[in-house]
Structure 1
Amino acid sequence: MGIGDWVSSWPVYRQLTGADRTGRGAAARSARTERLRPRVADADKVVKSICPYCAVGCGQNVYVRDGKVTQVEGDPDSPISRGRLCPKGSATLQLTTGPNRLDTVLYRRPHGTEWEHLDLDTAMDMIADRVIAARLTGWEWEDDQGRPLRRTMGFASLGGATLDNEENYLFKKLFTALGAIQIENQARI
């Protein structure tokens, strides 16, 4: 490659000597730039979703290839966020596909120092047994003056920011049906 070829490969030289005087078109492109492709170009489909982190409800585009989530970006069609996501929302891909995401049940026995793996059915049975026991021991039919209460003070619910709006709605309905009155969500605190 001669000195002339080398100089003519500079974007500023192409800008000054070519038709693209503003440097926003062909003068600014390089061979590397021409090879670049958007990371969502290979997606099979785009699924509209809502950010799971807080109660704002920012829109997200979830890009899927071969049945797996490959990218999550802000939805420009969303009237709430107009394509923007906060740092937590931008990390949604890590929430769904991150290598540190737990996908098994871990249990630490009372006074235990180590976590052990449980199968899901065993864990669900343990939770159900404890909810029923706490509901029975904390149940209040009526107050001191005989007015009906029909509630339990045996447990409470605190929803988390990684639950989406639908999951938090279902938690609220479940705990209300169980008689709980202390029902809150992390996004409101």
Structure 2
Amino acid sequence: MGVRDWIGSWPVYRQATGDDPLGRGAAAKSAGTARLTARVSTADQVVKSVCPYCAVGCGQDVYVQDGRVTQIEGDPDSPVSRGRLCPKGSASLQLTTGSAREYGVLYRRPHGTDWERLDLDTAMRMIADRVIAARRHGWQWEHDGKRVRRTLGIASLGGATLDNEENYLIKKLFTALGAVQIENQARV
């Protein structure tokens, strides 16, 4: 590489002699950066989502390639966050691809010290049995002489990122079970 080639590859020289006097485009681009491509350029689709961490509800663009999440970025179309994410939201890709992600059900028996793996059907049956038992144990037909038909044995506290439709369905489910303590964290 001669001196002339070396000077021509210098960003300040390209800035002073080229079409980019402010050094915001081609003048600042090196051969190395010209070879780079965006992580999201190979995605098959972009799915709109909401960050799961807090009640703010920042919009996210979830990039999917071959059925796998490859990148999560802030959604610039979101009126809530306008494309910005906090550190937790920026790291939410770990929720789908992180090495600490569990893909099975872990259960620790009462007074136990070790976790055991359960299949999903067994875990769902255990949950259903416990909901039925808590409902049956806490059921009240009457209270202070008034018919109430309710249970105080179960309650629901919805997550901060549930949307209106999910909250509506949860409210319907727990009301049908007879629960009266139904709340959403986003409103608390």
* TM-score category (smaller protein): 0.7 to 0.9
Of 119-128 and 80-89, more deviation after overlay is shown by 80-89
Q: Is the 8 A contact 2:15 2:21 kept in 1?
A: yes
2:137·2:153 contact (CA, 8 Å) conserved in 1? yes
Q: Distance in 2 between matches of 1:179 and 1:155?
A: 9
Q: Which residue of 1 aligns with 2:156?
A: 157
Q: Does 1:177 align with 2:179?
A: no
Q: What is the correspondence of 1:13-162 to structure 2 with a 5 Å cutoff?
A: 13-144=13-144, 146-161=145-160
Question: What is the identity, as a one-letter code, of the residue corresponding to 1:76?
Answer: P
* Contact 2:105/2:120, CA 8 A, preserved across alignment: yes
Query: Counting strand residues as a fraction of each chain, which structure ranks higher?
Result: 2
What do the CA deviations read for 1:96-151 (whole angstroms, capped 9, x no partner)?
Answer: 2222111111111111110001111111111111111111111111112x112111
Query: Where does the alignment leave 5 or more consecutive residues of structure 2 unmatched?
Result: none
1-side partners of 2:115 and 2:167: how far apart? 27
For residue 125 of structure 1, give the secondary structure of its aligned residue in structure 2. helix
Change (3 A) 1:72 1:19: closer
The Cα shift of 1:66 comes to 0.8
State the AA in 2 paired with 1:33. T
Residue 12, structure 1, aligned to residue 37, structure 2: no
Q: In 2, distance between residues paired with 1:18 and 1:111?
A: 73
Residue by residue, what CA displacement relative to the aligned partner does 1:34-69 show, whole Å, maximum 9, x if unpaired? 111111100111122233333433322211111111
Aligned residues: 187
Find the aligned partners of 1:125 and 1:108 in 2 and give their Cα distance: 16
| C-alpha deviation, 1:28, in angstroms | 1.2
Partners of 2:126 and 2:108 in 1: CA distance: 13
4+ residue runs over 6 A deviation? none
| Cα distance between partner residues in 2 of 1:93 and 1:22 | 35
Given that residues 15 and 28 in structure 1 are in contact (C-alpha distance below 8 angstroms), is that contact kept between their aligned partners in structure 2?
A: yes
Two-structure CA RMSD over aligned residues (Å): 2.1
Give the residue type in structure 1 aligned to 2:77.
Answer: D
**Following the alignment from structure 2 to structure 1, what is the Cα–Cα distance between the partners of residues 170 and 103?**
21
- Distance apart, 1:71 and its partner CA: 1.2
Answer yes or no: is the 8 Å Cα contact 1:53–1:164 preserved in 2: no
**Matched residues in 2 for 1:126 and 1:25: separation?**
60
Scaled by the length of structure 2, the TM-score of the pair is 0.86
Contact 2:55–2:185, Cα closer than 8 Å, also in 1:
no
Q: Deviations over 1:16-47 (max 9, x none)?
A: 34443222232211101111111110011112
The answer to whether the 8 Å contact 2:46/2:62 transfers is: yes
* Structure 1 runs not aligned, ≥5 long: none
Query: Does the aligned pair in 1 maintain the 2:151–2:179 contact within 8 Å?
Result: yes
